Structure 1
Amino acid sequence: MVALKDFGVGSKSIEERIHEETRYLLDFFSKKQNSLIDASKLFPKVASNVVSNVIFGERFDHEDPDFIRLLENVQFVIEQNSPFRPDNFFPILEVFSTTNQRQAAVERFDEMKEYIRRRIDKQRQTFDPCVIRNFLDLYLAQEGKQDSKISENYLFLTILDMYFAGTDTTSVALQWCMLYMLKFPDVQLKCRAEILEAIGDSRLPQLSDREDLSYVNATLHEIQRIATTTPMAVPHATLEDIYIEGKLIPKKSVLLCDLMSIHLDPTVWNEPEMFHPERFLDDKGHFLKRETFCPFSLGPRQCVGKHLGEAELFLFFTSLLQRFDLIKAYPDQTLSTEGTQTFVTLEPRPFEMKFTIRS
């Protein structure tokens, strides 16, 4: 958490990192306008590049073979670790399978570890303990410390955690944003009108603009509510035996909270199945915080990437609507809001769309 804060999460420097990827994205769509874009293939690259900037200090070209392979490995491991795969609970089922997918996932994971090892070895050649440039430098600064309370292996696995979590969750959230803007073009128009009135089109949106974009904020919150990206939240563990409603939860139990049971609770939200951004606005049209809105888990130990994810979602979303009309691939295209559960995320079904420079 300290490292992410030092690298600008919640400050201007992370905004600059996101803007770097935003400019690439805007240029890409300008050249590809009216072309069919597969959201499920594009946005993982966008989200991953922001995390890559924090970890490695630079972004990848979208066609870089190493980058493409990294993302393929991330996706494969995530798919094989779905909590709903029967063979993850009953390994005997592997006997009846023609391919050992779990072993393949382990090999893919090891391949990612080896890639990061190579990046660490390369960065060691230019490492200066007085100038910490990125997360790999933090790793190198920790390397070999006898009195450290954080092991090198822990830091190494943290790098992998950041890559997995930072790529998957933000990418999926952006895909849901695109899908709901296609399904509700009237909401898209209202968001754009507010962006142009508050910011214009001569500069990129900034995090400081959030206070002036109440309807945009309300829309982003409503998308995250109705399409909860991580339904099972961040796992927690009990530090001691506790009783909940008379039932014993033993010490060291892993606890999962079903966030959708909160986000779709009819006693909390009026018509929770309906997409209605105005539920996050007060009578004067100002953004209204809701305590029952919890897409990043509950309690003090929420997702460590919360602020980074919020910043990415806001800046990418507003920048795209500022410049482009988001259009269905086909006029009669049916867009399902039923998601598919992977390892931790609820992903929309793959869909294509068009980006046209706004009229």
Structure 2
Amino acid sequence: MALLKQYDGCLYVAVGDQILIHNYSGSCAPVKSVKLPEIIIPENLSVGQTEVLKREDKQIISLSVNKEYILATTQNKQVVLFDAKLQVIKNFVLNRAASKVRLGSNNDILIADKTGDAFVCEFNKDTPALVLGHLSMLLDILIEDKYIITCDRDEKIRVSHYPNCYNILSYCLGHKEFVTNIEIFNGLLVSASGDGTVRFWDYKSGRQIGIVNCNDFIKDKNVIEQFCLKMDQDNVEVRALPITDMQVHGNYVAVSLLGLNYIQIYSAVWSEDSLDVKHLQNVNFDSQLVNFSLRDRLIILTSDKLLCYECKGDKYEFQSDLNQFYDDNKELITKSSKDDFSVYYKRKFDNVQEYLERKKLRLEGGLNK
């Protein structure tokens, strides 16, 4: 999947093994690009592991950007840190595949892997250190103040002291499906889930402050029903359309749901222990959503367009399209694969009936002897 990030008037687009940097405000060069360097193969790897690292398909699956650095992670476990001049600062390989990698506030590299472990690679060190583990796949990670917050496929959000991560402060429990995204929002923790809800938490106590069911603002309810029927054929019990991405900026929360051709925008105001959440608008577009990025501008990448919206008043209004940039890089963008969210759901298995049938056959066989 093509990934979008914005920072300081520039749009960063990760496609394949390249990062394209597009200036839409005049604050940086018109268009720049950087390709990931060759992988440095660690010593003492088996032949099979070495072959995996040498695969041509090095699609970037995680991208993080701040004022000083750009961090990219690929599906074959490569992690690359660039500085603002696009020079390589770090280039190493993870032991296991990552589900999310991001830059911390002090430029440490935070890594959530698919086996449930969380690592931190401090900026002045070359190798990540294991800090905590879950019993389920981790999907997001962040550090806020002196706490590290992680979420997983088993609906849990865990808040641990950092760096003494064995000391757990709280759990934020309430989601009914996997937790896809967590962010800090005006002092609260906000989370999004496969159950179709966005929840706000006092993460230090684990108390839920507020909840929004994004499925309530889906115009065509048949979309939800069709998705549930489809997942039922795969032995998955689903009641809602899942949230595929959630981003926050200022007082705004933007949410995308699986298969919908619009972004939901909410405002949330937290003051004096009171949370006021409102659905402001659905930002519609004609073609299939690929990805989006929310800052002062909302930039949406679809299957055939790149659209830019600007925040005016309390809504995002269409400003312009960036189709020249899209057309120049269309071949790269359309080649990128898409995330399969169905793998995060737990399958239901009924082996009792099969057991009863086998038992009946055994008993009948015994009676016939």
TM range (shorter): under 0.3
TM-score (norm 1): 0.26
Larger radius of gyration: 2
